[in-house]
């Protein structure tokens, strides 16, 4: 393989033991995990995240045995501030070079120098997606979702941050604004949109596919984009509405297996691992394209979105939420959701 560090030399010290990895579905392929276990002779426990906040809460209570944690950028600052993360050992992460510089240069919000974190894949976006076949109106801004013509046709993410950040951005504010006035304005906008919303939830693909909804404000459309070639023409994103963020590998400060943790992170950056991931889950690769081009389907990179996503990234202000913002948004959210 083309991985820089050979398992023999790196792994000898860490033979045996267990590595607890907390990650999102789709951020590491099952095969890679199995390969790693075999090569290093360790057990890898994969736990899937439901919500990063929960992890943060658990870790703040000192009740966690995770070694490797997959964090979304929005919470990076909180994790760093709470000193929950250990600095990465770049000596172990030799595959660092494989990563597309675009993603490394920008760094993560709250960890701009990537002391603690490395992006797992290319950027993810939350934004408005339209089913071109069924959407009754032209949409080019977030506010358009309030159009009465869309009544009962909108799917929305249920992630608080994305909701308010999207509204803030549409109003011309920073998506990470903590200003109460600005947030209240955002609330007013959301309240206008809410009657149109059919459902809040995680998975939106199905509802767009089944015709349940014609528009979705969602964070997982990228998967849909790459999953099925037929969808490439059917769906369209509204670039003005996008929020970008990345998932990052980090190592827990409390981890007793830091060396192995770094080795694991390094392992996922091998071209082989990246190819397996793309083939299993799709998505924007974090590695340089030339390293993986051969491993994936011929038409994989023909998807026009792929380039667009990569190109959009430098202009995006990554999401990052503070404690105060969480508190305010939360109250607003409860208010938003309580009325009929």
Partner 1 sequence: MKKSEEKPRPKGRPKKTRRERMTTLIMQAPMTIWAALFIIAPFCLLAFMSFMTKGPLGSIQYTPTLDNYKEILNPVYADVIKQSLVVAGWTTTLTILMGYPLAGFIAKVKSKTSSLLTILLMLPLWVSGLVVLYSFVILLNNSGIINTILMKLHLLKEPLALLYNNFAIVVGMIYMFLPFAVLPMYSSIEKLDPGLIEASKDLGAGPVKTFCKVTLPLTSPGVFAAIILTFIPCIGYYMVTDMLGGGTSLMIGNLIYRQFTISRNWPFGAALSVVLAVIIFLMVFIYTKLGGDLDDLGA
Partner 2 sequence: MKKKKIINGLHKTYVLLLFLFFYAPVAVMILFSFNTSKANVVWQGFTTKWYLKLMGDSELWGIFGTTVLIAVLTTIFASVVGTMGAIGYKKSKGKLAKLITNSTYFPIVIPEIVLAVALFMIFNTSGFSLGIPAIVIGNTTICLPYVYITVKSRLVGMEPSIEEASLDLGADRIYTLFHITIPQIMPGIVSGAFMAFSLSLDELIITSFLADAGTTTLPMKVYSMMKKGISPEINALATVIFTVSILCVVIYLAVDGIRTIKAVKARKKPRDL
Residues that bind partner 1 (CB under 8 A): 50-51, 53-54, 56-57, 60-61, 78, 81-82, 152, 158, 160, 194, 197-201, 206-207, 210-212, 323, 326-327, 330-331, 334-335, 337-340
Stretch that binds partner 2, among 132-140, 196-204, 290-298, 318-326 (CB under 8 A): 196-204
Judged by CB under 8 A, the residue of 203, 307, 331, 334 near partner 2 is 203
How many residues bind to partner 2 according to rule CB under 8 A?
33
Single out the residue of 68, 103, 107, 108 nearest to residue 85, CA to CA.
68
Considering CB distances under 5 to 8 angstroms, the limit depending on partner class, which of partner 2, partner 1, none binds residue 18?
partner 2
Q: Which is nearer to partner 1, 40 or 66 (CB)?
A: 66
Which residue's CB is nearer to partner 2, number 170 or number 237?
237
Q: Name which of partner 2, partner 1, none residue 49 binds, using a CB cut-off of 5 to 8 Å depending on partner kind.
A: partner 2
Rg (CA), the chain: 20
Residue 340 interacts, among partner 2, partner 1, none and using kind-specific CB cut-offs from 5 to 8 Å, with: partner 1
Q: Any residues with CB less than 8 A from the CB of 235 and at least 6 apart, and which?
A: 129, 130, 131, 132, 208, 221, 224, 225
Check: CB of residue 260 under 8 Å from CB of residue 42.
yes
What is the torsional sign of CA 100, 102, 104, 107?
negative
Rounded-to-10 torsion of CA 267, 268, 273, 277: 160
Stretch that binds partner 2, among 217-225, 237-245, 261-269, 318-326 (CB under 8 A): 217-225
227 lines the binding site for partner 2 (CB under 8 A): yes
Which residue's CB is nearer to partner 2, number 212 or number 317? 212
Alpha carbon distances (Å) from 106 to 131, 136, 175: 32, 38, 17
H/E element holding 217?
strand 215-218
* Binds 64: which of partner 1, partner 2, none (CB < 5-8 Å by kind): partner 2
Interacting residue with partner 2 among 65, 105, 180, 330 (CB under 8 A): 65
For residues 43 and 151, give the distance between their C-alpha atoms in angstroms, rounded to a whole number. Answer: 50
Beta strands in 49-134 (DSSP E): 68-72, 85-86, 118-119, 124-131
Provide the token pair at 331: 């109250």
Measure the N-to-C terminal CA separation of the chain; round to a whole number of Å.
Answer: 57
Nearer to partner 1, 198 or 259 (CB): 198
User: Closest CB to partner 1 among 45 and 331?
Assistant: 331
22 binds, among partner 1, partner 2, none (CB under 5 to 8 A by kind): partner 2
Q: Pattern of binders to partner 2 over 17-56, x per CB under 8 A? A: -x-x-x-xxx---x--xx----------xxxxxx------
Determine the 3-state secondary structure of 177 from DSSP.
Answer: coil
| Tokens describing residue 55 | 């992890």
Q: Does 141 bind partner 2 (CB under 8 A)?
A: no
CB of 330 to partner 1, least distance (A): 4
* Member of 89, 209, 240, 317 binding partner 2 (CB under 8 A): 209
Specify whether the CB–CB gap between 214 and 131 falls below 8 A.
yes
Give me the residue label for tokens 């998975």.
Answer: 203
What distance in Å separates the CA atoms of residue 96 and residue 266, rounded to the nearest whole number? Answer: 7
**Beta-sheet strands, E only, within 286-328:** none
Interface positions with partner 2 (CB under 8 A): 18, 20, 22, 24-26, 30, 33-34, 45-50, 58, 61, 63-67, 201-203, 205-206, 209-210, 220, 223-224, 227
């Amino acid at each position: 393989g083309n991985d820089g560090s050979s398992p023999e030399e790196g792994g000898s010290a860490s033979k045996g033991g267990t590595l607890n990895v907390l990650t999102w579905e789709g951020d590491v392929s099952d095969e890679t995990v199995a390969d790693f276990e075999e090569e290093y002779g360790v057990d890898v426990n994969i736990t899937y995240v439901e919500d990063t906040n929960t992890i943060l809460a658990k870790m703040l209570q000192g009740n966690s045995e995770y070694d490797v944690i997959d964090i979304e950028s929005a919470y990076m600052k909180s994790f760093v501030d709470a000193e929950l993360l250990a600095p990465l050992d770049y000596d172990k992460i030799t595959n660092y070079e494989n990563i597309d510089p675009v993603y490394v240069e920008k760094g993560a919000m709250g960890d701009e120098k990537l002391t603690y974190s490395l992006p797992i894949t290319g950027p993810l976006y939350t934004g408005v997606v339209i089913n071109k076949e069924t959407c009754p109106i032209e949409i080019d801004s977030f506010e358009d979702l309030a159009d009465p013509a869309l009544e009962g046709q909108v799917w929305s993410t249920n992630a608080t941050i994305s909701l308010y950040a999207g509204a803030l951005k549409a109003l011309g504010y920073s998506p990470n604004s903590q200003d109460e006035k600005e947030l209240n304005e955002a609330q007013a906008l959301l309240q206008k949109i809410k009657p149109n919303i059919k459902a809040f939830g995680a998975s939106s693909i199905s509802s767009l596919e089944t015709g349940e909804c014609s528009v979705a404000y969602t964070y997982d459309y990228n998967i849909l984009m790459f999953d099925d070639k037929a969808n490439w023409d059917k769906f369209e994103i509204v670039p003005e509405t996008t929020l970008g963020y990345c998932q990052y590998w980090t190592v827990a400060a409390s981890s007793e297996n830091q060396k192995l943790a770094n080795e694991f992170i390094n392992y996922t950056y091998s071209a082989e691992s990246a190819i397996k991931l793309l083939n299993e889950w799709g998505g924007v690769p974090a590695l340089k394209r030339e390293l993986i081009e051969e491993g994936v389907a011929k038409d994989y990179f023909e998807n026009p979105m792929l380039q667009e996503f990569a190109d959009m990234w430098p202009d995006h202000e990554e999401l990052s939420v503070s404690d105060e913002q969480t508190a305010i948004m939360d109250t607003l959210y409860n208010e938003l959701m309580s009325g009929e």
